Structure 1
Amino acid sequence: MSKPYQPTPEGLAKAEQRRLKKQQAKLHPPPKTENEQGHILPREWLDISSQTTGTSGRTVRLMTWNLLAQSLVRRELFPTSDCLKAGQREHMLYNEINSHNATICCLQEVDRTEKLFPQLEKPGYSWVYAVGPRKKHGCLIAYRKDAYECVRQKVVVYDEEEVRAEGDGNARRGLSFRTKNIGSLVALRQLGGGDDGIIVATTHLFWHPAYAYERARQAGVLVREVTKFRTEGTEIEQRWPCILAGDFNFGPDDPAYSLLVGDELLPAQKARLESSRVVHATVDPAISVDGASAAEEEEEGAESGENDPDRIIVHARAAQPTDGLLTDTELEDLFRQSGTPTSAYDTGLRTLPDLAAGGLTFGSRVSIPEGRRGAFEPVYTSYTHYWQAVLDYIFVLDAPGRDVSVVRLAKPHSKDSFGEGLPRKGVCGSDHISLAADLRWPST
């Protein structure tokens, strides 16, 4: 009978070394690479070029995305997220932007610019960055510097824009709330020959769910100013199409959406506008409130509970005729004087009815009356534990005689992709889902 194995002292020492090495590896794993940290849910693209007319001309890929400013992150607002720290999200944000390979990027809630700007330089972007008064985050338009040059730019401060000719300062502006929100506009001239170009505007409208009137006013001002910006350019620039992309903070069933795309206001939408025709303490200092609470209302995400769509209006009084708030008819006139934009997603996805059947469109979960626009927006563009909504859009305002066609779209994600709510590792670094479209229009 053979003797049982007896390890030698040298063998025991080597075994102990291997054990200690494994133990150290578990205690101190190697750092993850940027690619591992930045893993996101892959995005499919939908080709709808066969459904469109006028296929010749220049094609531009444009994306829009709300990055979720780090200054707005609160654990109580995103209780199910597993990546709220800046270091956990930043590479996911960069990868999402780069994954679309867009010619033009419209970004909102942009902060930590010392980190973002170098990342935009790597793939060859230039950019225009604008911030509202005393805001901690802003709006950014990035464009490929080998494709375009910026020839003009403008910032629209909604709080300062007048909407009527009579009355004092506040009445002429028709303000219900001083929000510090802005729109950023640029005129981009095509490089490499030709006189073609594009007007691009991005914005982040007022967040508060109950202030339907103020959001409608801001959207109307934006369309008016974009149209004006185009007409102020050269004769050639006046023939450039306009794109309005960003976080509009209203849904496809909201009165502002209907006003923007030219649908008549429904009775329920008129009621929403009427209930929000108030004057907030930020406009009328005579209203007595807790100063800290009033200031917090201005910033998206600053208060717990901002995700409640039935949130009541506080620190405000009913509007009086002398306050100058626009009537429904005056709002309609404000929008119609500037033309009627169309939505890239609502137009494009309308040609793919199977997406609605698959639950990927807004109309698959919310009833939109037949003949009205909005049913074919993505099913969600923002998805958190408390808040699931469509808030982001790419709107197109054609140039005279040069209609813009939608030829490809980044496919909406299904609800199942978002787990218990964004941001989420391996899925998306923001609480918003990016939108992207290939747009084509005839050459000059």
Structure 2
Amino acid sequence: MTVEVNENTLHNTEPAGIKNAISNCVDTTTSEPSKVKENQNKKKKGKGKRTPPSPEEIARIREERATQRKAKEEALLTQGSITNCPPELQFIRRPLLELHKGEPQSGFNFSLMTYNCLAQALIRRKLFPDSGDALKWFRRSKVLLYEFMHYKADVICLQEVDHIQYQSFWKEEFGKLGYESQFHRKASKNHGVAIVWKRELFTLTDKMLIDYDKEASGNIPPRTTTNNAGLILALKFSDKVLKQFPNTTKSGILIGTTHLFWHPFGTYERTRQCYVVLNKVKEFLHRVNVLQNNNDGQKDHWIPFFCGDFNSQPFDTPYLSMTSKPVKYAGRAKTVIECSTSYKFSKLREGESGADEEEGGNIEKFGKDQPQTPVPAAFDATPEQSGLVKKMEELHNSLDMRAISLYATGYNRVHPENAGLDNARGEPEISNWAHTWNGLLDYLFYIDSWDFSDREHAETLEDFETNHSIKIRGLLRMPPKSEMEKFGHGQPHTGEYASDHLSMVCNIELLL
């Protein structure tokens, strides 16, 4: 079932001719016959002229109309399909590809989404030459909201969330839909990350903020100021959930999100930031166990996930350092990270209020002493550069934590035509489709301890589910490049997607 509306219904604009409309309204609050007759007599004496409405009357009518518009819009949203809204507010609705069809469910089911929704502050027309009016916030915000309503994820990890829009739009809109949320950013940036969750399922009990520029990483310092941030929350199961599983020893989930360093020559720094991600999850797991589980020594009270935009593909060292244990850099991955160590970042980046190239254009200039491409066919590293890369490899192999990609684990079962097309991990081909670049940058990870055994290859679905008491019940379909190429342009685009990234969703059953 759908509700048909027109553009004026959805857009928060004043209808044309409001003064005439207001003047024709009858004040239904007056029911006395004498006053009605008196008003009619005044109308006759005034030869059709009417008394102008008072400011209070205008405000009342406007408020009523705004309420009616909002009610129609919310009625439309609750239908889910949104098939009758104007073309400029449509988006491509992808199916959730199911696993374990027909199998009974005995655990706690929830859906987890990650989505880089494109900060409005970062939009430059030259970067999105084909996007047209799809870039306008008053439209794009509604399309994004409709997308969240359509997929109805229980926990949502967001990146590139504008601080202004979070405070003035998202916080309230998510609240109306039954969500709570937390937002975090570096003060030097006008966008950050957010985590959103259904209040009927979870309660926030602790949080940890990540400032990558200040986080320790063994004896490897940050290569440059990035102003990147991360956020981890402890979401305790609500009383409603615990009543369904009265004998469980599980307390809830830990959920983190981040947006890692974007720079094309930032592979080395991104790889360091991935170490920070795993190390902070380990630290947070210990903290919540001490503070909320009486420090009983058990490490499985909380089930940890970490999602976000890692600005790394499955064949590069940031991703491999988290998922392939023990990691050994070789081939293309080694070439790219060694090349990145030769890049000299501008001193303008340094400092708490350092320049942010995402918003102000590229500070660094190519020159005779700078590499000309971040992905060279070959790179002749100096002993110093080789030593830096070796130290990074050793750093990751010293940490007893690892990440397991939920899509890498199960996507080949539901969409084999788009699993492992350009990578050896079974990941889908793309999650980002911009005007000048495309590839897979976004991931949903389960975080696990590592016993230093051989975990170089992606786990099978059976091993993952058996070893962690988790079932992957569904994965949102991701289009391959061959489908996206048919559009002939980048995203966002009217009637297609509201961001240059595509949302990713996993349905998870926790066997409590």
- Shorter-normalised TM-score: what interval? 0.7 to 0.9
Counterpart residue number, 1:396: 446
Q: Deviations over 1:155-181 (max 9, x none)?
A: 1100001112xxxxxxx5511111000
Aligned ranges 1:343-358 → 2 under 5 Å = 343-352=405-414, 355-357=415-417
Counterpart residue number, 1:437: 506
Corresponding residue pairs, total: 381
Preserved CA contact (<8 Å) 2:316 2:333? yes
In the alignment, does 2:112 pair up with 1:62? Answer: yes
Offset of residue 377 of structure 1 = 1.7
Higher relative contact order (CA 8 A, sep 6+): 1
In the alignment, does 2:370 pair up with 1:269? Answer: no
Preserved CA contact (<8 Å) 1:56 1:442? yes
In the alignment, does 2:179 pair up with 1:125? Answer: yes
Offset of residue 280 of structure 1 = 2.6
CA distance in 2, matches of 1:211, 1:232: 31
> SS in structure 2 opposite 1:351?
helix
Opposite residue 234 of structure 1, the aligned amino acid is N
Offset of residue 255 of structure 1 = 1.3
Counterpart residue number, 1:91: 142
In the alignment, does 2:358 pair up with 1:281? Answer: no
Tell me which moved more, 63-72 or 228-237.
Answer: 228-237
Cα distance change of structure 1 residues 219 and 64 upon mapping to structure 2, 3 Å threshold? same
> SS in structure 2 opposite 1:231?
helix
Opposite residue 355 of structure 2, the aligned amino acid is A
Percent identity of equivalent pairs: 28
Opposite residue 227 of structure 1, the aligned amino acid is K
Preserved CA contact (<8 Å) 2:226 2:261? yes
Q: CA RMSD in A?
A: 3.4
In the alignment, does 2:277 pair up with 1:222? Answer: yes
Offset of residue 32 of structure 1 = 5.9
Preserved CA contact (<8 Å) 2:208 2:231? yes
Offset of residue 304 of structure 1 = 11
Q: Deviations over 1:60-107 (max 9, x none)?
A: 200010010000000100111131111221111111122211110000
Match of 1:340 among 383, 389, 402: 402
CA distance in 1, matches of 2:346, 2:209: 25
Counterpart residue number, 1:426: 495
Aligned ranges 1:205-216 → 2 under 5 Å = 205-216=260-271
CA distance in 2, matches of 1:398, 1:119: 34
Preserved CA contact (<8 Å) 2:211 2:230? yes
Match of 2:128 among 69, 72, 78: 78
Q: Deviations over 1:358-393 (max 9, x none)?
A: xx33x32x2x3xxx42xx222210102211111100
Q: Deviations over 1:18-59 (max 9, x none)?
A: xxxxxxxxxxx963636435321112011112599x964222
Counterpart residue number, 1:238: 299
Offset of residue 338 of structure 1 = 3.6
Opposite residue 184 of structure 1, the aligned amino acid is L
TM-score, normalization: structure 1? Answer: 0.77
> SS in structure 2 opposite 1:129?
strand
Offset of residue 347 of structure 1 = 0.7
Cα distance change of structure 1 residues 407 and 285 upon mapping to structure 2, 3 Å threshold? closer
In the alignment, does 2:193 pair up with 1:146? Answer: no
Tell me which moved more, 260-269 or 79-88.
Answer: 260-269
Preserved CA contact (<8 Å) 1:204 1:247? yes
Preserved CA contact (<8 Å) 1:277 1:319? no
Structure 2 runs not aligned, ≥5 long: 1-5, 11-72, 74-84, 366-370, 376-380, 451-466
In the alignment, does 2:256 pair up with 1:201? Answer: yes
Structure having the larger proportion of residues in helix: 2
CA distance in 2, matches of 1:226, 1:327: 24
Cα distance change of structure 1 residues 398 and 260 upon mapping to structure 2, 3 Å threshold? closer
CA distance in 2, matches of 1:108, 1:243: 16
> SS in structure 2 opposite 1:350?
helix
Cα distance change of structure 1 residues 425 and 327 upon mapping to structure 2, 3 Å threshold? same
Counterpart residue number, 2:222: 175
Q: Deviations over 1:97-150 (max 9, x none)?
A: 222111100000001111111110111100111002311101000011111011
CA distance in 2, matches of 1:55, 1:329: 46
Cα distance change of structure 1 residues 345 and 223 upon mapping to structure 2, 3 Å threshold? same
Cα distance change of structure 1 residues 283 and 425 upon mapping to structure 2, 3 Å threshold? closer
Opposite residue 241 of structure 1, the aligned amino acid is I
Offset of residue 241 of structure 1 = 1.5
CA distance in 2, matches of 1:304, 1:86: 27
CA distance in 2, matches of 1:310, 1:84: 32
Counterpart residue number, 1:380: 430
CA distance in 1, matches of 2:274, 2:404: 14
Cα distance change of structure 1 residues 134 and 197 upon mapping to structure 2, 3 Å threshold? same
Offset of residue 336 of structure 1 = 5.2
Preserved CA contact (<8 Å) 1:185 1:200? yes
Counterpart residue number, 1:105: 156
Cα distance change of structure 1 residues 310 and 73 upon mapping to structure 2, 3 Å threshold? farther
Counterpart residue number, 2:26: none
Preserved CA contact (<8 Å) 2:111 2:155? yes
Counterpart residue number, 1:260: 322
Offset of residue 356 of structure 1 = 3.6
Structure 1 runs not aligned, ≥5 long: 1-28, 165-171, 287-291
Opposite residue 269 of structure 2, the aligned amino acid is E
CA distance in 1, matches of 2:138, 2:171: 16
Cα distance change of structure 1 residues 30 and 106 upon mapping to structure 2, 3 Å threshold? closer
> SS in structure 2 opposite 1:138?
strand
